[in-house]
Amino acid sequence: MDAAGGGNAPSAAGAGSGQTTLLDIENVSLSFGGVKAITDISFDIRAGEVRAIIGPNGAGKTSMLNVINGFYHPQEGAITWKGQRRSRMRPHEAAASGIARTFQNVALFKGMSTLDNVMSGRSLKMHRGLFWQMVHVGPARREEIAHRRRVEEIIDFLEIAHIRKKPVGKLSYGLQKRVELGRAMAMEPELLLLDEPMAGMNLEEKEDMSRFILDLAREFGTTIALIEHDMGVVMDLADRVVVLDYGKKIADGTPTEVQSNQDVIDAYLGVAR
Amino acid sequence: MELLHAIFVAPFVDMFTLPAFLLQVLWEGFVSGVLYALIALGFVLIFKASGVFNFAQGIMVVFAALVLVGLHAMGLPAWLALLATIGVMGLFAISVERFVLRKLVNQPDAILLMATIGLTLIVKGAGQLFFGADTKSMITEELGLPTGSSVWEVFDDIVIFQHIDIAAAVIAILMVAALGVFFSRTRIGRALRAVADDHQAALSVGISLNQIWAIVWFASGIVALVTGIMWGARSDVSFALEIIALKALAVLILGGFTSIPGAIVGGLLVGIGEKLAEVYWGPLVGGGIEAWFAYVLALVFLLFRPQGLFGERIIERV
């Protein structure tokens, strides 16, 4: 690996088996005023696995991701991250500790180019002082170059080299989603949270995105938690699936187990209750 | 007929027959334009990073200048007073973030604006408490700024350049260049643009809003200090400066609230425009155009181009 350090896979060697628990969520509840978004949910994410979170609209999936990366703080329950119980971790602290994410409605820096967006994912990894960055010589220059090299690798991996210099606001939705994934990848996270990575994409774009996610998990060993509505995609990608409905967990297991679970079928088909 | 002649013909004839005088007017306008641009720059920095219209920017200019002069009066050498003032502006930025902004994250813009109005009153009160309300003169010479003037002979006439004006223009240009490099090259500059674009996304890549806010307030504190020194050197250091600083509002409407180039061009337009209007059209209405020209220009812009010259297009998606 180059001087940028680490590569994308802190856990690449040992985590293939997916036995160690990376993130453990115990009895978490979250409410906004009187509205309960999440009620008493427990599940875990193991190192190296692809974990899908599915459920009908309004089931609390995105709230769950927001809890994991610190946008929301649950009123009850405990979150254990890398073996340590954490309390009220703020989003930028979560990012620093190895949690990256993408958003349901693409949250990119629209005025900046693809390259700058992906580069912004490296912001936590740059250490040279301000002055040196401004004069752009010596160690700061070498550091910038090392980061650029890593970023270019990611851009090549995601096949977005042709739009490197374009402002992302002008790109198609599918490409924006890809740039957003690139920015999260640039953080070299241990846990990557993807909120509907395929939403609004056509079949071809979905296939590309699935390939990137699988490569990320298998080749780089990044642990991934993703929310997705396309069941075909979920069944193909996920090692384990947790199903939410009305803020409660209704099933947890391998894709085939979940698929045949009566509660899940009811939730999706809308049985009268 | 006579009126039309006085509006559309006579001023241009004057300009043409006395070109050196026109140059002098343009230069004066340019220099005050540069200073407007500096004040506007302070506004833009904060608005870009936090969406807050910082009403206190004007009083920050006065405060910075007062601290500098006050510390010098207490016996500190000029360079030490300057360093100490920079330190004071740093402390100010950190306290504003810690005690005002942090409590008000995610509040509507109007509340943040009210908070900066409150801040204005606090800073004003503190300034008067510590340094008194009387007018003071800037320690121009002690800071090593030039005070003389040069004469340029042209068109069989002369144009006078005050050295302090030249220094102000040069320093302003250097400062804008430094800010430009800061924004485009450094990690923090990139983070700052990121925060301006999307708070949530910025947080998710590990950018700390608190840190960024403290930094922009410090940066605009430094801009305020430079403005205070330059303006103080041309006139005096007094609380009246705060009112002049409000002209930067017009500059911002012209240039666009989020654009650094916009602040500069807007500042120059207002500065040069109001001097030309005052000198050539002023006599028609009995003078005083300088006081309202900027605001009328801003009104016209609001009618036809509300996002300003360089601002982001305002698109409301329904």
Q: A86-113 burial string, b = 16+ CB within 10 Å, else e?
A: eeebbbbbbbebbbbbbbeebbbbbbbb
B295 closest CA partner among B253, B258, B264: B253
Model pLDDT, residue B152: 80
pLDDT digits (tens, 9 = 90+) for B71-109: 888 888 888 889 999 999 999 988 888 888 877 766 777
The verdict on A123 touching B (C-beta cutoff 8 Å) is yes
Taking residues A248-268, report their average pLDDT. Answer: 86
Residue B2 has pLDDT above 90, yes or no: no
Listed by start position, the domains of chain A span: 15-108+187-269
Helix (H, G, I), strand (E, B) or coil at B99: helix
Q: Do B198 and A92 touch (CB under 8 A)?
A: no
Span of A2-16, A31-45, B297-311 with lowest mean pLDDT? A2-16
Task: Give just the sign of the alpha carbon dihedral A175, A176, A180, A182.
Answer: positive
Q: Which pairing describes strands A223-227 and A191-195: parallel, antiparallel, or unpaired? A: parallel
Q: Do B201 and A111 touch (CB under 8 A)?
A: no
Report the mean per-residue pLDDT for chain A. 82
| Ordered alpha helix ranges (H), B51-156 | 57-73, 78-96, 109-131
- Whether residue A84 has pLDDT greater than 80: yes
Tokens of A86: 């954490």
Per-residue confidence (pLDDT) for residue A18, from 0 to 100: 47
User: At residue B21, does pLDDT exceed 60?
Assistant: yes
B204/A100 touch (CB, cutoff 8 Å), yes or no: yes
Q: With bands split at pLDDT 50, 70 and 90, how would you rate the model's confidence at A137?
A: low
- What mean pLDDT is predicted for residues B222-234? 87
Q: Is the confidence at residue A96, as pLDDT, over 90?
A: no
> Rg for chain B (alpha carbons), in Å?
21
Residue A247's pLDDT is 87
- Closest Cα in chain A, distance from residue B73 (Å): 32
Tell me what the mean pLDDT of segment B259-280 comes to.
86
Is the per-residue pLDDT at B26 higher than 70? Answer: yes
What pLDDT score does A273 carry? 54
Element (H, E) at A38: strand A35-46
Put simply, the answer to whether B193 touches A109 (Cβ < 8 Å) is yes
Q: pTM of whole model > 0.80?
A: no
User: CA of B210: which chain A residue's CA is closest?
Assistant: A92
Q: What integer is the mean pLDDT of B139-156?
A: 77
**Range of lowest pLDDT (A207-211, A264-268, B296-300):** A264-268
**Beta-sheet strands, E only, within chain B:** 149-154, 157-162
- pLDDT (0 to 100) of residue A133: 58
A187: nearest CB among B178, B181, B206? B206
Rounded CA separation A38/A26 (Å)? 12
CB contact under 8 A, A112 and B193: yes
**pLDDT average, residue stretch A207-236:** 88
* Structural domain count, chain B: 1
Query: What is the C-alpha end-to-end distance of chain B, expressed in Å?
Result: 51
For chain A, say whether B208 makes contact (Cβ under 8 Å): yes
Amino acid type, A198: M
Assigned domain for B206 exists: yes
Probe site for chain B from A104, A118, A123 (most B CB atoms < 10 A): A123
Q: Token match 């769950």: residue?
A: A64
CB B61 within 8 A of CB B241: yes
Measured CA to CA in angstroms, residue B61 lies from B56, B117, B127, B242, B249 at distances of: 9, 15, 11, 7, 15
Question: Mean per-residue pLDDT for B109-118?
Answer: 86
How far is residue B232's CA from residue B28's CA, in Å, rounded to a whole number? 16
CA angle A124, A126, A129 (to 5 degrees): 120
CB contact under 8 A, B197 and A100: no
Interchain proximity A120–B198, CB inside 8 Å:
no
Position A220 scores a pLDDT of 83
User: Which of chain B's residues have a Cβ under 8 Å away from the Cβ of A103?
Assistant: 200-201, 204
Q: What is the ipTM of this complex?
A: 0.70
- Distance of alpha carbon B282 from alpha carbon B243, whole angstroms: 21
Q: Parallel, antiparallel, or unpaired for β A99-101 and A50-54?
A: unpaired
Check pLDDT > 60 for residue B301. Answer: yes
pLDDT bracket for residue B311 (50, 70, 90): low
The reported pLDDT for the residue numbered B240 is: 79
State pLDDT tens for residues B162-197.
Answer: 888 888 888 888 888 888 787 777 777 777 777 777
- Is B198 close to A121, i.e. CB distance below 8 A? no
Q: Is the pLDDT of residue B121 over 60?
A: yes
Give B-chain residues touching A116 at CB under 8 angstroms: 190
Pick the range with the lowest mean pLDDT from A64-68, B143-147, B275-279: B143-147
pLDDT at A224 over 90: yes
Q: Average pLDDT, stretch B129-135?
A: 83
**Is position B317 within any domain?**
no
- Which of the pair, B276 or B244, is modelled with greater confidence? B276
Q: Which of A112-121, B199-208, B280-289 has the highest mean pLDDT?
A: A112-121
The answer to whether residue B309 is domain-embedded is no
Mean pLDDT of chain B: 82
Residues in chain A: 273
Mean pLDDT of B11-30: 84
A3 vs B23, more confident: B23
pLDDT band at A210 (very low <50, low <70, confident <90, very high): very high
Q: Which of A180-184, B155-159, B278-282 has the highest mean predicted lDDT (pLDDT)?
A: A180-184
Calculate what percentage of chain B has a pLDDT beyond 90: 7
Confidence of residue A127 (pLDDT cuts 50, 70, 90): low
Helix (H, G, I), strand (E, B) or coil at B157: strand
Whether residue B252 has pLDDT greater than 90 = no
CB A181 within 8 A of CB A205: no
Which stretches within chain B are classed as H helix?
A: 2-8, 10-17, 19-50, 57-73, 78-96, 109-131, 163-185, 187-197, 199-204, 209-234, 241-245, 247-255, 260-276, 282-285, 289-304
Is the pLDDT confidence value at A4 over 60? no
**CATH number for the domain harbouring residue B289:** 1.10.3470
Q: For domain A15-108+187-269, give the fold.
A: Rossmann fold (3.40.50)
Domain that holds residue B141: 2-304
Tell me the chain A residues in contact with residue B187 when contact means C-beta distances shorter than 8 Å.
123, 126, 133
